[in-house]
Amino acid sequence: MPGWSVAAGKAASVGIRYPCSACGNLTRFDVVTSRRTRAFHHYTVGGDLQVEDEAVLDEHVDEVTCRWCGDGAAVEEIDKALDGAAEVTAAASDRSGAT
Ligand SMILES: [Zn+2]
């Protein structure tokens, strides 16, 4: 039955977990993220800015550091989405040619 194929693309970071294999931490991490966005900057005549319709064009996690032991090297990245719904066809958005 079709209908559940709307998986990939949107909330990409929600399914990511970062277990630290050094100390067992599962819940506390410092995450450095690079995000490229496009937004509608709506100025009033007086110069006040209101940002609307912000869209994330690109998002990349640069660094994850364990909050407990401070070790970034021991932190693994686990995609729960892949874990739970293994049948999801690998996203067709393989950006080859990016840097
Ligand atoms: Zn740790």
Interval between CA 60 and ligand 1 midpoint (Å): 22
Percent residues over pLDDT 90 in the chain:
56
State pLDDT tens for residues 55-99: 999 999 999 999 999 988 899 988 877 655 444 444 445 555 545
Return the higher-pLDDT residue of 26 and 9.
26
Rounded to two decimals, the pTM is: 0.55
Return the higher-pLDDT residue of 70 and 11.
70
Interval between CA 22 and ligand 1 midpoint (Å): 5
Interval between CA 31 and ligand 1 midpoint (Å): 13
Please give the residue range of the domain that contains residue 24. Answer: 4-96
Q: How many domains does the chain have?
A: 1
For the segment 6-29, the average pLDDT, to the nearest whole number, is 76
- Map 38-84 to HEC letters: EEEEEECCCCCEEEEEEEEEEEEEEEEEECCCCCCCCECCEEHHHHH
